[in-house]
Structure 1
Amino acid sequence: MMIYFVAAVAGVAGFLFGFDEGVIAGALHLLRAQFDITSTQEGVMTAAVPFGALFGALAAGRAVERFGRRRMLLFAALLFVIGAALASAALGAVMLTLARLVLGFAIGVAGLVAPLYISESSPADKRGMLVSIYQLAITLGILGAYLVGYAFDDSWRTMFAIGMIPGIVLFAGMAVLRDTPRYLAMTGRRDEARKAIASLRGIRTDDPRIETEFAEMVETADADRGHGSWSELFGKVARPALVVAIGLFFLQQLSGINAVIYYAPSVFDEAGFGDSSTQILATVGVGTVNVLMTLVGMALIDRIGRRKLLLAGFLVTALSLAMIAIGAATDAQAMDVVAFVGLVLYIGAFAASIGPLPWVMMSEVFPLSVRGRGMSLASITNWGFNFLVVFSFPILLNHIGLAGVFGIYAFICAIGIIFTFRYVPETNGILLEDIEAFLRTGRPFRQLGMATGPATAAAKGAAE
């Protein structure tokens, strides 16, 4: 079906996200030698990506409503190419930091728009799996960055230059695609919206199923027209969605994932691995686990639902991070093995649940009129705490050690269990329009999808 091609093209933005985040791990030892950078400069250079992404997400919130999903992804693709070219040609740490700010801005835009583009194009029963393609692409990008770092371990310029290739692929793919049916309907381009639905579902334009889906989109678009202010986003209808989206990204980032992604070789060094080549190779192994377990999460997300997968994910990550902390706190050789096993378990559990689900739910829970703004704030939360974790990791490592750092991350994951149980709804299989209808009933958001089957819960809630 066309929808899989659409998800794959938009997913290239996720690959770029992962690649441009992960490539620094293989390049750092070369950059330290060439530019003689301090630990503070290293933190700034590494954290430039999430810092730039924060501003990209902020800018994209309004721009995606004005210019559309497709144009914003084309814009992001151009920035990816420019940023990679500048990074590969950098003459010093300052220029490289600026290039990574450009890449970060592109990631911030794409990180908001790509999941939205997939979500608004997908049928309800496959939406979770299809949006998860974005997270799968992130893990493939991270793995690709690690492999490039291993293959070109004597040339950091080549590592960064390779990032131009997927940027060109993203631009070429988006150039041949339409905008989403929901955006087309919202902007009054209704004939184009019908054609987009037919293309995405693989049916004829005169198929009656098109009119059914189109009518629901138009009804919601008409109801939301003239709305969409920031005050509405913080109002009682949209506020529960905002709490869920922001809360999940807060917990996702403070679980410490990007400390592992950016500084994986350093983590392996602390855990007892020897030379830099061995550390990079071990990091490639972690990247492989990341990819494989993301596939597991994609297989489960539309079967067991979002809430159960999140609860399981936070439980396993809390336990595995505690294993790392305990292993790092002792000098015994056997405990180094415990720390390594804990690290692999953590990556697996994160990849199957905590990694993809905030992106999926961010694209699902907001009313159409404030979807761009809501996703913007959620993305800002993501990148703001991403920056905080990445920048603080080497500093915390020097002051409280690996055991203390991962002990903090374990505690955050334990809080995630409570948060999910109290606030997160089950959106599995529910139309975006029905999720919005449920929000307008004023019932506790966590009750969505609980009382009845997911396909009818929202509709029944709206009728009560």
Structure 2
Amino acid sequence: MEKEKKIPSGFIYFFGSFGGILFGYDIGVMTGALPFLQIDWSLQNSAGVVGWITSAVMFGAIFGGALAGQLSDKLGRRKMILISAIIFMIGSVLSGVSPHNGSIYLIIVRIFLGTAVGAASALVPAYMSEMAPAKLRGQLSGLNQTMIVSGMLLSYIVDFLLKDLPEHWAWRLMLGLAAIPALILYVGVAKLPESPRFLVKSGKEDEARKVLTYIRKDDNEIDQEMADIKATAQDETKAATSTSWGTLFSGKYRYLVIAGIGVAAFQQFQGANAIFYYIPLIVEKATGNAASSALMWPIIQGVILVIGSLVYIAIADKFNRRTLIMLGGTVMGLSFILPAIINMLIPNTNPMMIVVFLCIYVAFYSFTWAPLTWVIVGEVFPLAIRGRASGLASSFNWIGSFLVGLLFPIMTASMSQEAVFAIFGIICVLGVVFTKFCVPETRGRSLEEIEEEGTNK
């Protein structure tokens, strides 16, 4: 037993968050694939079909997040991440071999693929928050965001490198290559331990203690954390026998559930994914140049996102979660609203102005709402309801993402881009107000302390 090989904590944290690569790649890949798909299948004037193909992944993710949250309470976070990786590999390959003009086929396959993306978005934050010590939880959960935006940047670079291929090959390879990070995720996660909180909840205390020895340095810290986890698990086991979907909104949990779900929903309804999915088409509408020649813009957005995620890791546990979220939401709202105001006052403004403001939006989104949404979702829910509540929060997040992806091309076909983004800007401001009055501060507090605050509300 003395010679048993330990799993390095860095390996655990890296592959624990690697699901974000899949999440990010699939958010980003359609950005570059769409202009070629539109040409190949003659979809330039089919805003509804384009919206459905783009948003089908998010539609599947609505269900994947909820189902994975529930199943992970029974099977464990690790096993569900492995299942998600398999679904992702299959869905990516099937997308790449779509029959010509097979819009319905591609939509169905991408809904299937979306169940895996939604599962990863729910499971990775829950797994990371249960593995990380309270003082590092913001940084390590922020690692998930770095993985997501790195996946997006990777997809943008792949799209750019493949842009000179014939249209029918370019978009197929862009979608199909997502199977590679899915395979890497499967191999890595197969070597990871289960979350200690899930193991205690399943009656496997010795295994939970062993996992904690990989990721905590001090025996006293391990003893204290085991005692906290066991005490909470005993309380939650009693409550779990009567836990149902209705329990999420009972008096004891309502405050925390509304906070987590609200933040997850606002993150998407603020319109970030309209930029990530459609930036080449946004630039095309602003400049008149072909979208397929605007694939450098997604890379610029991707670089901003990665830099922002690294900034977040550097400052994560130095500033309160609520402070950063309200700062980000305010600047994001102004970045969307100001172009509409300037356009009204100075009608002949350079149309690229809106793209500059979108870059400012992305910069502030990247180190505030983007990572903090998942940090808060990972921190705010009590153990008895964490699987279900995280899944529900993820589903609301994906509902927002689905609606933005579906409606944005339809909205921009019927009104100016400035007007569409001004609507998103108002939603950003509402998100700031919601955070101020409805979201508790979670920085540097144990999951048990946060739960106690919800109980006392």
Instruction: Give the structure-2-normalised TM-score.
Output: 0.92
Q: 1:181 is aligned with what amino acid? A: P
Residue aligning to 1:212: 224
Residue aligning to 1:13: 19
- Encode CA deviations 1:322-379: one digit per residue, 9 max, x unaligned: 2343466688664434322211100001111011111110111111100111111111
CA separation in 2, counterparts of 1:358 and 1:379?
Answer: 10
Q: How does 1:378-457 map to 2 (within 5 A)?
A: 378-442=393-457
CA separation in 1, counterparts of 2:312 and 2:447?
Answer: 21
Q: 2:47 is aligned with what amino acid? A: S
CA separation in 2, counterparts of 1:196 and 1:273?
Answer: 56
Residue aligning to 1:448: none
* Alignment match of 1:280 (pick from 295, 312, 320): 295
- Encode CA deviations 1:40-83: one digit per residue, 9 max, x unaligned: 21111111010000010121121010100000000001011111
Residue aligning to 2:123: 113
- Encode CA deviations 1:372-416: one digit per residue, 9 max, x unaligned: 111111111101111111111011111222011001011111112
Residue aligning to 1:33: 39
Residue aligning to 1:262: 277
CA separation in 1, counterparts of 2:247 and 2:270?
Answer: 30
Equivalent residues of 1:328, 1:402 under 8 A apart: no
Instruction: Give the structure-1-normalised TM-score.
Output: 0.91
Shift of the 297–333 alpha-carbon distance from structure 1 to 2, 3 Å rule, reads: farther
Residue aligning to 1:450: none
* Alignment match of 1:68 (pick from 72, 76, 79): 76
- Residue 361 of structure 1 aligns to a residue whose secondary structure is helix
- Encode CA deviations 1:214-235: one digit per residue, 9 max, x unaligned: 0110000011103231232111
Q: How does 1:157-306 map to 2 (within 5 A)?
A: 157-202=172-217, 207-228=219-240, 229=243, 230-272=245-287, 274-306=289-321
Give how far 1:127 is off: 0.2
Q: Mean alpha-carbon deviation: is it higher for 426-435 or for 293-302?
A: 293-302
For structure 1, the 5+ residue unaligned runs are 443-464
Q: 2:225 is aligned with what amino acid? A: E
User: Is residue 345 from structure 1 mapped to residue 353 from structure 2 by the alignment?
Assistant: no
CA separation in 2, counterparts of 1:11 and 1:399?
Answer: 40
Residue aligning to 1:24: 30
CA separation in 1, counterparts of 2:194 and 2:419?
Answer: 47
CA separation in 1, counterparts of 2:343 and 2:12?
Answer: 44
Question: What count of residue pairs does the alignment treat as equivalent?
Answer: 439
Give how far 1:10 is off: 2.4
Q: 1:427 is aligned with what amino acid? A: T
Equivalent residues of 2:17, 2:147 under 8 A apart: yes
- Residue 430 of structure 1 aligns to a residue whose secondary structure is coil
CA separation in 2, counterparts of 1:406 and 1:329?
Answer: 14
Q: How does 1:294-333 map to 2 (within 5 A)?
A: 294-326=309-341
* Alignment match of 2:106 (pick from 91, 96, 108): 96
Q: Mean alpha-carbon deviation: is it higher for 94-103 or for 185-194?
A: 94-103
CA separation in 2, counterparts of 1:25 and 1:140?
Answer: 15
Give how far 1:298 is off: 2.0
Q: 2:253 is aligned with what amino acid? A: A
Point out which structure has higher relative CO (alpha carbons under 8 A, 6+ apart).
2
Give how far 1:434 is off: 1.4
- Residue 17 of structure 2 aligns to a residue whose secondary structure is helix
User: Is residue 83 from structure 1 mapped to residue 83 from structure 2 by the alignment?
Assistant: no
Residue aligning to 1:48: 56
- Encode CA deviations 1:410-430: one digit per residue, 9 max, x unaligned: 111111221111111111110
Equivalent residues of 1:273, 1:279 under 8 A apart: no
